[in-house]
A and B are shown apart, each in its own frame.
Chain A
């Protein structure tokens, strides 16, 4: 259940961030107009990324104290679908230096947006636990 929640959280947050970012670039005339096909493609790739992140959460052997290795692996699992499916199959961006750099930067922004919002969620969870700890101590149990 927790992993299903994680899947939908990652999927929804990353899809929203990516779509809004692309729409802003579209408004600036920097990318081709956003259309229905592109939105469905975004959703498909985002869902694959979310599924990979959940699998990583389940099977990750990472035990590093700060979690940096895990974050690097998470980001790699964002880049792989974007470049392999988005770049090669759907041709979202030209496979030249400029296109690859733009795609990498967009991935980076979306990844940190997802991490940031998940941290807000984890902080809310921690606050809930702290309240339960205080209640338990107040009740003397």
Chain B
């Protein structure tokens, strides 16, 4: 693989072009990572508006019709609804794992089986997230397992 980087003061924004013959799983994963890098999500904490890079988000959760973004050690409120995030984050490492949760699969360290065909995901910050049985096939597909 050849990697060209052109750095110039004339460039207004970062532009990434990928030329490939076949889009294999590793390349698709790289594209997902790039898409993740280009997105950020507006959040709030203690009446302060912030922009959170998506790669820092471990998961989004909806509680009492409010959306929360969880990072390694912090929680932010997010103005976007879960279904809006799901649409925006399509084809990234984020995936719906239950009715109330969208998980960043890049932050999953391991999974364990539970009764009722469900999975429990252990995240990098040692937090555990439940993957509902209806979402297990899509979760497996994220890792190229059909």
Contact = CB atoms under 8 A, between A and B. Distances in A.
A115 interface: yes
B140 A129 contact: yes
A123 B111 CA distance: 9
Interface residues of B, number: 26
A115 B140 contact: no
Interface residues of A, number: 23
B26 A139 contact: yes
A41 interface: no
Chain B contact surface mostly: mixed
Interface string A113-130: 001001100110110111
B11 to A, nearest CB: 26
Nearest to B28: A141
A141 B29 contact: yes
B111 A67 contact: no
A63 B100 CA distance: 11
A139 B139 CA distance: 19
Contact of A65 (B130, B136, B144): B130
B21 interface: no
Interface of B: 26, 29-30, 33, 99, 108-119, 130, 133, 136-137, 139-140, 143-145
